[in-house]
């Protein structure tokens, strides 16, 4: 079983990127798994976290990619925030850089995903 948390709002404050969700009961008890994967069907990056029982999928959808790019370029810390608390996403920039470079020109992710990633992070 897996839990999905969606982050559709992103704000920079004092050199830190804060990703916000209104979902409750989500952040408490999870820890970073330090890996980002792609969901080409939903045009999203997914940062993996985990708790005692399952993986927790932190969905970072296309609407916040501009802020993700800025965090990557500035090597800014990234935190996820919910009504329950917050969590720093360890190794975020390294993982995002690796995934973006892997997606660039790689049709295995789907033509539309490649176009969107290249437009947001490469062009």
pLDDT digits over 8-24, tens only?
899 999 999 999 999 98
| pLDDT at residue 89, as a whole number | 97
Confidence band (pLDDT; 50, 70, 90) for 5?
Answer: very high
Is the pLDDT higher at 96 or at 52?
96
| Tens of pLDDT, residues 70-121 | 999 999 999 999 998 999 999 999 999 999 999 999 999 999 999 999 999 9
- DSSP string for residues in the chain: -EEEEEE-EEEEETTEEEEE---SSSSTT-EEEEEEEEETTTTEEEEEEE-SSSEEEEEEEGGGHHHHHHHHHHT--EEEEETTEEEE-TTHHHHHHHHHHHHTT-GGG-HHHHHHHIIIII-
| pLDDT at residue 52, as a whole number | 86
| pLDDT at residue 1, as a whole number | 62
| pLDDT at residue 101, as a whole number | 97
| Segments making up each domain of the chain, as ranges | 2-122
């Amino acid at each position: 079983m897996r839990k999905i948390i969606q982050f559709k709002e992103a704000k920079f404050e004092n050199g830190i990127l804060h990703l916000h969700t209104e979902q409750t009961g989500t952040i408490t008890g999870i820890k970073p798994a330090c890996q980002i994967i792609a969901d080409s069907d939903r045009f999203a990056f997914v940062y993996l976290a985990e708790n005692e029982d399952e993986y927790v999928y932190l969905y970072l959808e296309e609407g916040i990619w501009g802020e993700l790019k800025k965090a990557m370029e500035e090597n800014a810390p990234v935190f996820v925030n919910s009504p329950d608390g917050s969590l720093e996403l360890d190794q975020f920039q390294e993982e995002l850089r690796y995934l973006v470079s892997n997606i660039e020109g790689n049709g295995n992710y789907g033509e539309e995903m490649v176009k969107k990633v290249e437009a947001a992070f490469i062009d």
